[in-house]
Amino acid sequence: MSGATATLLFELGMEELPPGALDTLSDRLAEALADGLDRAGVSHGEVRALGAPRRLAVQIEAVARRQPDRDFERRGPARAVAFDETGAPTRAAEGFARSCGVDVDQLETLETDEGAWLVHRGTETGRDTDALLPALIDHALTQLPIPKRMRWGDQSSEFVRPVHWVVLMLDQAVVPTEVFGVASGRDSRGHRFHHPGPVRLADAGDYTAAMRAAHVLVDRTDRRDHILEGVRAEGEAIGGHAVIDTELLDEVNALVEWPVVLSGSFDEAFLRVPPEALISSMQGHQRYFPVRDAEGHLLPRFITVANIDSRDPARVIAGNERVIRPRLADAAFFWDQDRARTLESRLPALEQVVFQKQLGSIAEKSARVAALAARYAERFETDAHQAQRAARLAKADLLTEMVDEFPELQGVMGRYYAREDGEPAAVAAALDEIYQPRFAADAVAASPLGRLLAVAERADTLVGIFAIGKVPTGAKDPFALRRAAVGLLRSLIEGEHAIDLAALFQAAAAQQPAALAAAEQVEPLVEFCLERLRGVYQEAGYGAELFEAVRSVRAPGTLTPVDFDRRLRACHDFARLPAAGSLAAANKRIRNILRKAGSEIPATVDKTRLYEPAEQALESALESRTPAVEALIQRGAYSEALAQLAELREPVDRFFDQVMVMSDDPAIQANRLALLQRLQDQFLAIADVSALPESA
């Protein structure tokens, strides 16, 4: 070997991996191997996690060829017991020396506050990296998150798939080892069809180029980009734009080694079926990318990614077109069959579908949601009759053939079937919107009726599940209550609906089975939602101090999310004002002064007892702004109210510079405390700005 560093390559070749496992296993293998080198003290450069359907690989640059030498110090017995009265070594000293491989006279003394001790100091020679790698590889493989392992042949070891070849190299040299019974070497394997033979690697640094020549793109990012660019270009070439779902793109990327983008077509007659059903069929069953035109209408075309560069692409396309036709025909059949019955006709059957055994059937849940929606309809400026109607129909599409085949279309198909049944447009839209937001980046329902149903549905679920004792713990949340709470909070905040959660949960609890004592869960649920709200703001980049500034002035047991949001955003705006830091510090000082006062503070300020110009100026400034500030607070215009209060910076600063609050005269002292109390109350009517950083 030459040079102080080398490129390390480890490749594990196997049967095709589950597509959902490739990215995770590839990343974790690279992390575990790099961590092993770090723990061994072996320096290295860039770490690349590579992989394709039949291989996991890690390439690490500038790996030191050996560990550095390491100085060590091993502490032995105290000198008091290591030598007898004559100075001769005792058995304790001799035993320690023997264990260190030296003579007693080669040991040194370590002086500490606790006394003197024998020590053995030395330098441990670093090992060659190639000698360390087999153990590091074995350890890294044991760290992989493989939920379901398998055995093969006569091997006792287990892995995600049978292993067929192993490459382990440092630059041009093979590092001998054995992994799952397979000896390491320099021979990889190319594409199963384009290059079925071995690929002999001359140098670890040539790996990606050598594999590309063998029709395998091992860099996952490059392969994904290649697929993405190809699919987009093909969509434009056939007169539209490809519908690219990120999860589908990742799945396709994990299925192909040599992606070749092709497009095909299907019978235009299938376009009478709702586009979401056709898209679900193409994406879910065939892993095709649908195509839309410039207006967003679905085209009778699809894009597929083959794993072979065929000499006759037309045959590959024809084969895919033959495969997609029966899938789309099934979707069309489900559409026609489902429309033969109205959603309302399916409602009695919901009585036989269990939501949760202690909480009853889906029909009973729908009735609870309907009652809650009717109660809050006016608060959402919606029609109570429509709210009840939509709530009753919302789960009916669960019993349709289409949703049974494509569960992800729940709600979407309800909207289409409701339109076919002649339901009001608002009701039909709400059957889909009740599920919004479906995921973190999803929008809340666009209509007030949709937001009402989304809130009522989630409130019923939260109260019911809490009442049966299935509160989320740690990472366990089988009923997705955290997601439900966030969806409820976002619907209220973004829809600007001033609803108190305690009252909402009380109303929902009244609908639950009497044996559950659901009302006892209202306060814990409010706190649960408050913690979810904290997480929402943290993810949005708001500091924890803003959250605490608002939380601390909240009345116990209550939470109106939209009001909380307005206050927090007002604090965020206030914190950017030049006066914010000074007023935050002043409020901290006021809080401490009032806390230590120890006497009853008057309810009002006696102007006749204000003797100092600075206290008179503060009282005057506060008095002049109070009506406007209170009016703004009443309207929920908290940012404007804090902006008004920010103008008190100068008189507040002057007050503390020139006035002694704790006067020797008790009456003057009490009056000044009353002035500070009044000032603090103005701020506390919005938030505790003393929680904000003074450097804001």
34 and 81 together in one domain:
no
Residue 695 pLDDT: 56
Angstrom distance (rounded) from CA 223 to CA 209: 13
- Does the residue 226 lie in any domain? yes
**What is the per-residue pLDDT across 237-271, written as a single tens digit (0 to 9) for each?**
999 999 999 999 999 999 999 999 999 999 999 99
* Nearest alpha carbon to residue 581 among 450, 446, 487, 692: 692
Is residue 134 located within the same domain as residue 264? no
277 and 364 inside one domain: no
Mean local confidence (pLDDT), 282-293: 95
Which tokens hold the place of 351? 């009585």
Among 151, 184, 213, the domain boundary falls at 213
Buried b (16+ CB within 10 A) or exposed e, 274-306: bebbbbbbbbebeebbbbbeeeeebbbbbbbbb
Q: Contact, 216 vs 191, CB < 8 A?
A: yes
pLDDT tens digits for range 421-461: 999 999 999 999 999 999 988 999 999 999 999 999 999 99
420 and 299 housed in the same domain: no
Instruction: Indicate if 431 and 390 belong to the same structural domain.
Output: yes
Task: State percent of the chain over pLDDT 70.
Answer: 99
Asked if residue 189 has pLDDT above 70, the reply is yes
Residue-wise pLDDT for 530-563, tens only, equals: 999 999 999 999 999 999 999 999 888 889 999 9
Average pLDDT, the chain: 94
2 — pLDDT class (breaks 50, 70, 90): low
Residue 104 predicted with pLDDT over 80:
yes
Q: Is 412 exposed, middle or buried (0-12, 13-18, 19+ CB in 10 A)?
A: buried
Last residue of a domain, one of 213, 242, 265: 213
> 557 lies in a domain?
no
CATH code where residue 21 lies = 3.30.70.260
pLDDT in tens, 636-667: 999 999 999 999 999 999 999 999 999 888 89
Look at residue 265 and tell me if it is in a domain: yes
State whether 496 and 373 are in the same domain: yes
The percent of residues above 90 in pLDDT, for the chain, comes to: 85
Q: Which residue has the higher pLDDT, 113 or 367?
A: 367
Lowest mean pLDDT among 155-164, 286-295, 636-645: 155-164
Q: What CATH number is attached to the domain comprising 392?
A: 1.10.3210
Instruction: State which of 305, 339, 373 marks the end of a domain.
Output: 339
Per-residue confidence (pLDDT) for residue 596, from 0 to 100: 86
Tell me how many domains the chain contains. Answer: 5
CATH of the domain at 575: 1.10.730.10
The reply to whether 563 falls in a domain is no
In this structure, the answer to whether residues 353 and 235 fall within a common structural domain is: no
Domain enclosing residue 609, as ranges: 569-691
Task: Give yes or no: residues 586 and 661 share one domain.
Answer: yes
Nearest to 159 by CA among 302, 43, 12, 23: 12
Same domain, residue pair 350 and 463 = yes
Q: Residues 350-394: pLDDT tens digits?
A: 999 999 999 999 999 999 999 999 999 999 999 999 999 999 999
Q: Where are the beta strands (DSSP E) in 204-271?
A: 241-242, 260-265
Per-residue pLDDT, 122: 86
In a domain, 490, yes or no: yes
CA dihedral 404, 410, 411, 414 (to 10 degrees): -10
What integer pLDDT is reported at residue 696 of this predicted model? 47
Is residue 10, in this structure, part of any structural domain at all?
yes
Average of per-residue pLDDT across 457-480: 93
**Is 667 part of any domain?**
yes
DSSP assignment of 625-659, as one string? Answer: HHHHHHHHHHHT-HHHHHHHHHTTHHHHHHHHHH-
Are 413 and 316 within one domain? Answer: no
For residue 561, tell me if it sits in a domain: no
In a shared domain, residues 243 and 325: yes
Please check whether residues 249 and 269 belong to one and the same domain: yes
